[in-house]
Amino acid sequence: MSEVLNFFHGDTYDTPDDMQRLLLDRMVGSSRAHFVARYASLMIRARLLIVRGKNTPAARARRAHQVLRLIEGCGGRFHLSGLTHVAQAGDEGETLLIVANHMSSMEGGLFPGLLAPLTPVSFVIKESLLKYPIFGPVIASFNPIVVGRRNPREDLQTVMTQGQTLLEQGVSVVIFPQSTRAARFDPEQFNSLGVKLARRAGVRVMPVALKTDFWDNGKLVRDFGPLHRERPIFFAFGEPVAVDSNGRSAHQYTVDFIRSHTERWQKM
């Protein structure tokens, strides 16, 4: 039986103000270069755990929480809400299908920690991520559902088949229904694949709205762009919902949840 972790207490979490004050004296040590070096160090340690056979779901969750602390140490200000929905599902041993908008590399790095009560968790990812020299093996350790994005029909079959197997084995699955990362949420690009998979596997759907453009996409290396300390980071976890016969109401619920949050955050 996997170890159950919960790094947060209560429904919300906000980066403490005193941490921000301390950062004024640490800004030289919280540069983009510092962030990339520290992040790479965490991934190298993760690679060593994989080699030793010790990269457990709990270890992955702890590492993700370390990434969160690293981001805070580099000026990131987190605002998390709906955490009790995650904790309650974990307490009840429920497996969920999680659907979220996709904005940056931060999501993949943090979700294992934010969703720690649901451990284990897997992801639907693009095949190219597995080719990264250091990060590829770490990503592969999540037993992800890999799609090539060359044949949409084949990708659909892969997600539905492998996703159902994981969910039935008690592994919660995270899907980003958008075709690519986007600075703004576009409902037209948010497909219903997650809802369809949840219906087939007989699990509930949890929507997650997020704003992670603090960690921007890079020009040379897409996954390591500039850090924007003026941009707060938001994650909002919605109440899980059962999928009805055709899935339309569940899909609309997830779209409305994400749209309402992202639109409000864009105005802040």
The answer to whether position 19 is within a domain reads yes
Q: What pLDDT score was predicted for residue 139?
A: 87
| pLDDT interval class at 223 (50, 70, 90) | low
Q: What is the pLDDT of residues 83-94, one digit of tens each?
A: 999 999 999 999
Q: What are phi and psi of 98, to 5 degrees?
A: -105, 125
Query: For all residues of the chain together, what is the average pLDDT?
Result: 88
Residue 265 has pLDDT above 50, yes or no: yes
Query: DSSP states of 178-202 as a string?
Result: SSS--SS--GGG--SHHHHHHHHHT
Overall number of domains in the chain: 1
Q: Among the ranges 18-32, 62-76, 77-91, 180-194, which has the highest mean pLDDT value?
A: 77-91
- Percentage of the chain exceeding pLDDT 70: 91
The answer to whether position 8 is within a domain reads no
Q: What is the pLDDT of residues 102-152, one digit of tens each?
A: 988 889 889 999 999 998 999 999 898 888 877 888 888 889 999 987 888
Residue 23 has pLDDT above 60, yes or no: no
The answer to whether position 259 is within a domain reads yes
The answer to whether position 7 is within a domain reads no
CB 202 within 8 A of CB 191: no
Q: Among the ranges 30-34, 81-85, 212-216, 225-229, which has the highest mean pLDDT value?
A: 81-85
* CATH code of the domain containing 186: 3.40.1130
The answer to whether position 163 is within a domain reads yes
Which of these ranges, 8-12, 19-23, 129-133, 142-146, has the smallest mean pLDDT? 19-23
Residue 206 has pLDDT above 90, yes or no: yes
| pLDDT interval class at 1 (50, 70, 90) | very low
Residue 67 has pLDDT above 50, yes or no: yes
Structural domain of 222: 13-266
Global confidence as pTM: 0.91
Q: Which residue has the higher pLDDT, 108 or 234?
A: 234
The answer to whether position 119 is within a domain reads yes
The answer to whether position 6 is within a domain reads no
Residue 193 has pLDDT above 80, yes or no: yes
Q: Which of 185, 217, 16, 3 is nearest to 90 (CA)?
A: 3
Q: Which residue has the higher pLDDT, 13 or 4?
A: 13
Q: Among the ranges 27-41, 122-136, 190-204, which has the highest mean pLDDT value?
A: 190-204
The answer to whether position 3 is within a domain reads no
